[in-house]
Structure 1
């Protein structure tokens, strides 16, 4: 008798059906596409932009750390972020005069422009490690959001908000410290969330991530009490002590990796004192068309309102409201609130980069409302708004405030004009050959390196300033009476990258 003729006895139970494996490939594919879009946006931005104000300082310090094993430059920030930049610079063959003497600003200019190095190559080499870290933090956003929402839809929605965030793209593509510091802190919060149900190995890894944040920027100290309190609450004081000691070890190792002879606690405390000294200075701010001295406590929330896509603002608000009663609120909202509260008391109203953790943490919060009908529309609106500004992410503002072309009317400095468009200006000026040029440029680039030969209009009598008057929009916002008179009596004829305006004077 063949097997085909064997009959199942009447009443016999059916064999158990094999459970259908969850279809993960669409989830992975969509996540990969979102991260690939982000990688293209950041790489394009990194290639096209010239040095922003802070980058040469960090790059110069990174080179000295790698070649001379010294922490003497840029001591106000711990060394880990600059060590990350050095991993890219190691492939650039950087030349540095071992006898150079000067401050950190002069060092950055020396390394980029005066040592025979190619500035574009060095910038890209230092920016690429930051791009890689930013993409990895996108994976953290995806996993964290999936965990708290118990939904892949929530994870994808959060990743989309992160991957299309103009501020994260803008600052994640620069050789600066804001995004890596915030990203390491986000990673620590996610690992502590997971440690609630499985302490090993999440608690040690959380300590490493927290230490990496503290070893990148000291402003992350504001979140330490919140995170340690969460560990204490769920895993007792010994676990909290272990996380703290692990974090301290990471900070110490990052210093010792540069200079084994350094006194770690003293060096770190010196950096904190340097930051406090910056806070004692009076800085100029610019908000909604008004230039002022000092700071406004509401500056960062107002700037975020301008520079965040409308769809993201909607989901941030809805996600925050929905998450308040969720156990994850303490891991998502509390660290962000602590950081923002401290940042809002600062004296430097210079850009949303001081609150770059907000779009990262609140993207995760938005995951809990991803199932609602309006969520897909909101994500799509955020994506369209982000794609619309490509590749000018730094000066982005949302449609209510007029888009990137109008950002300079509301904000200044790293919100719109941080020196990034000097190379684009050089290309644009090829249209105006033969005309006398006058330049007021905010940035760390060297105009002559790009073939821009211009005079400073502030050093000449007003009646001699004729031809092209080229002014960074931040300089316009902060213009004194002399420069304001020149601008007001000139005709705007061109704009470069939404950050530099070209006028004609006759």
Structure 2
């Protein structure tokens, strides 16, 4: 092991290993990006980003900041893509509709280009993860951290989609890495870099607001009574450098919105969320002070908080809850993390208690602060739609596990070393479902085949298998398909001919049902002509009684119901009713 460590420490070898691993992730991501149909939120992210690049406006859809949407849409500027010039709409899917109408032959390719831009960010994030791990531990641990990054199906799933989830994960990592460097060496350089990273994170997703308290906590965790800190500038100098950090962050945030509406008084706003409504109760002399925040950012943050405060159907382990489950994300990680990764986490915890020097308490506290804070806040929210909401914790869990590779010692710690090797060797098995990383569930959960009995929505079914349905219909032509699709892209645009199923009662016929709807998710379906129909909760739940004839990917079930099947269902319902009425 000592000789291997010496070899990996050489910069050419180290960067070759890291680059090879990340290139493998990039290629797997390209495969998924090409195979999967446009997913739920992707449908409007790319068109809205393209509109912002064309017009310089950011009020088309304020629910997400503009950076990653515009970043994904950059390649479209070198094509003949058209935005469709839609009017402002309260339904962001209208922008996707206009984009499809304007680019009927090429829109799939344009979405693929947008996904490639997210894969670039995944590559850069992996490089940054390697840098921080090497600074904390060793070159060998850094290579291991990148290996864990590449072998994570959850990271791969988001890396291959044109959404903000992978990007905010990378910016969490970048901001806290720069903040860690700033805490150790509070120079003007690191104050500026931390502020830039924080500003870019704010332009990526509103979740990044959590980085502000985390940076402050990180500063005190690193510096409080730390004898290793040599440079201790005067308090005035420290405050000035924190001022540079805050000012540079605000400048980046405002520049991202082209300084539109950046200096407007509080009195000019009307807020919906309870958090920001508090501001309207401030004294009048405070409400006339101009806010150095873009108007579209503040209005979008208010809208996002308002939506998160509303009740929303959440599914966990065959149960629905309107106000979320406090244990939702713990179960999500129990089901969707590969067992090898879970085992490494357990070994890391055990090793830390046995050998605290492996990961100093101060460093452990720095790494776990964003993990604990994000999980707690997400668990208290009403709107719980998938593991992607806590994806930014992954780099920090990987950093906690990374020093395990330096503990391999078959002479002194034989059993521990073999356990680590077994866990490592099992990790590539989690990629066997490619390109279906989005639908990944571990063996404890029954794999992706049974994943929908535990979790739905973006955990398994985000509209990614519409191409598979199209291929299935090309191989098995039919004129009487009934379709209930959990996705925003109108299936009719792919030439799929269908009707909506009858609700609350089965009738003979051929059906394609998305598993989120199968489990009872209320949803707005698209008819053949693209118009919308509001499906009630569990309106098609009776399909759970029947065995699907085929499973298209892991998110769409195909059924061919006969009169005999309907008779069996009716008999089962009557028997259930009798048992309920009997004393």
Same fold (TM over 0.5): yes
Q: Given the superposition, is the C-alpha separation of residues 502 and 90 from structure 1 closer, same or farther in structure 2, using an over 3 Å criterion?
A: same
Alignment correspondent of 2:169: 182
The separation in 2 between residues aligned to 1:30 and 1:403, in whole angstroms, is: 31
Which secondary structure state, in structure 2, belongs to the residue aligned with residue 389 of structure 1?
A: coil
Question: In angstroms, what is the RMSD of aligned CA positions?
Answer: 2.4
Aligned pairs (5 A) from 1:273-422: 273-319=302-348, 322=352, 325-372=360-407, 373=417, 374-385=419-430, 387-422=431-466
Find the residue that maps to 2:551 and give its secondary structure. Answer: strand
Whether the 8 Å contact between 1:143 and 1:155 is mirrored in structure 2 is yes
In structure 2, do the counterparts of structure 1 residues 56 and 481 end up closer, same or farther at CA, with 3 Å as the change threshold? closer
Unaligned runs of 5+ in 1: 1-18
* 2:48 matches 1:76: no
Distance 1:21 1:178 in 2: 32
The 2-side partners of 1:396 and 1:505 are apart by 29
Query: How far apart, CA to CA, are the structure 2 residues paired with 1:220 and 1:324?
Result: 27
Does residue 30 of structure 1 match 2:72? no
> 79-88 vs 346-355, which deviates more?
79-88
- CA-CA distance at 1:295 after TM superposition: 0.3
Q: Give the length in aligned residue pairs.
A: 482
Larger relative contact order (C-alpha < 8 A, sep ≥ 6)? 1
Per-residue deviation, 1:84: 1.1
Matches of 2:193 and 2:520, distance apart in 1: 45
Partner of 1:12: none
Counterparts of residues 205-216 of structure 1 (less than 5 Å): 205-216=193-204
- In the TM superposition, 1:4-403 aligns within 5 A as 22-98=9-85, 100-117=87-104, 118-149=106-137, 151-200=138-187, 201-231=189-219, 234=223, 236-256=238-258, 259=260, 264-319=293-348, 322=352, 325-372=360-407, 373=417, 374-385=419-430, 387-403=431-447
Change (3 A) 1:20 1:162: closer
CA distance in 2, matches of 1:359, 1:197: 23
Give the direction of change, closer, same or farther, for the CA distance of 1:467–1:383 in structure 2 (3 Å limit).
Answer: same
Instruction: Answer with 495-504 or 235-244: which moved more.
Output: 235-244
Asked whether the equivalents of residues 190 and 331 of structure 1 are also in contact (C-alpha less than 8 Å), the reply is no
Residue 196 of structure 1: how far off its partner (Å): 4.2
2:511 maps to 1:469: yes
Checking the alignment, whether the CA contact within 8 Å between 1:193 and 1:328 is kept in structure 2 is no
CA shift in 2, pair 1:346/1:89, >3 Å: farther
Q: TM-score w.r.t. structure 1 length? A: 0.89
8 Å contact from structure 2 (residues 60, 88) kept in 1: no
Cα distance change of structure 1 residues 497 and 481 upon mapping to structure 2, 3 Å threshold: closer
Q: Distance in 1 between matches of 2:30 and 2:108?
A: 13
| Structure 2 residue ranges without an equivalent (≥5) | 1-5, 224-231, 233-237, 265-292, 353-357, 408-416, 522-536, 563-583
The runs of at least 4 consecutive aligned structure 1 residues that moved more than 6 Å come to none
Cα deviation digits, residues 156-198 of structure 1 (max 9, x gap)? 1111111111111101111111221121111111122233444
**1:53-83 deviation per Cα after TM superposition (whole angstroms, max 9, x unaligned):** 1112211211221111111122122221222
User: 2 CA distance for matches of 1:25 and 1:418?
Assistant: 41
Instruction: Tell me by how many angstroms 1:365 deviates.
Output: 1.4
